[in-house]
Amino acid sequence: MATCSVRWRSSGGRGEFEFVPADSLEDREVQIFLEDLNLTIPAEVRGERKQGKPRLRKHEGNNRKKLHLPDLVMAIARLPAPAREDVLHSVTFPLQSKSFVMDAMDFDIIVDDGLTVTLAPLRVSIRNAKFQVDLQDRIKAIADDLLNLPMIASKHPALAAAIEAHGAELMKAVNSSELRLAADAVNDLQAQVFGLTNAGSATKLEEAAAKPPVELEEEIVGVEGKLLTRIHVYKERDKVFAARAKKHYKDKWGGKLLCEACGMDPVEKYGADGERCLEAHHRVPIEELQPDSITRLDEMAIVCASCHRIVHSRKPCLTIEDLAKILGR
């Protein structure tokens, strides 16, 4: 399946959006397809050439009640609104409205008849950071919340009402700033209940909040830090997933597992059962964790138990690369 990207480019202070490949959206109307919601929304934007450069243009450029394509997708996905100017040149997490600039948004091209192109959102990356949001996971999380409204309403009625209102705006299948307002209302209420988490799903956050606390929460202040840490630790302790991660890297590394931080070979040091001392660790910093996204195997690192403890000994966590440097590797 063909793909394309929409990228932010600085222009006169405020950014413009270009598309690549250069012929992917040219002279085409754009619409967005959301598989998990079985919904198609006309974006009311068109691909054009401007001085030989591929640029996206809103039908009504000065109409603030209509969102540009990236802004529309961010509102659909209940992500914070991106800024159009890179004023800060830095990013803090969890993301907050207008505190970051979108770098690129990737799409699958589902249908292209030469006049209209239908795009399915894949991922969005953030400028000045390595951070990416999986938009497919995000849309699924929203669909799950809509299915679980009774459960959410039983504990958080105001939040459930906001989620339902956002869903109602989605089902109108119209590009409207009302969708942004509805997304902000959910995000504000979700932050009040669970703290800032970059999560799309109240369902997953409620599940995490119901789990017993973990020891790493002891020195953390703020509900969001505690909840993100809890999610992080429980994912790392998933024995089935950890086994899959070990197999993934053992196959990748020619049949041998080493600690990525200190380089220790557990089989050489402890014998045939030495691999038991290796553990799976998230490469993604806790504050950048997306609680409702599926963790990919390549997002995990393999470290020995000792190095794992040291990685978690600082706030924020040390990266594997930082610890390797400390150890002189």
Tokens of 54: 């591929």
3-class secondary structure, 47 = strand
CA distance 197 to 275: 33
Q: Which residues pair with 126 in a beta bridge?
A: 102
- Tens-digit pLDDT string for the chain (329 aa): 799 999 998 876 567 899 999 899 999 999 999 999 999 999 999 999 877 889 999 999 889 999 999 999 999 999 999 998 887 778 888 889 999 999 999 999 999 999 999 999 999 999 998 888 999 999 999 999 999 999 999 999 999 999 999 999 999 999 999 999 999 999 999 999 998 888 889 999 999 889 998 887 776 666 667 888 888 889 888 889 999 999 999 999 999 999 999 999 999 999 989 999 999 999 888 888 888 888 889 889 999 999 999 998 887 788 999 999 999 98
Contact present, 17 and 56 (Cβ < 8 Å):
yes
Q: Is 0.95 topped by the overall pTM?
A: no
In 3D, which of 44, 42, 43 has the Cα closest to residue 59?
A: 44
Give strand pairing partners of 102: 126
User: How far from 82 is each of 78, 101, 206, 291, CA to CA, in Å?
Assistant: 12, 5, 26, 20
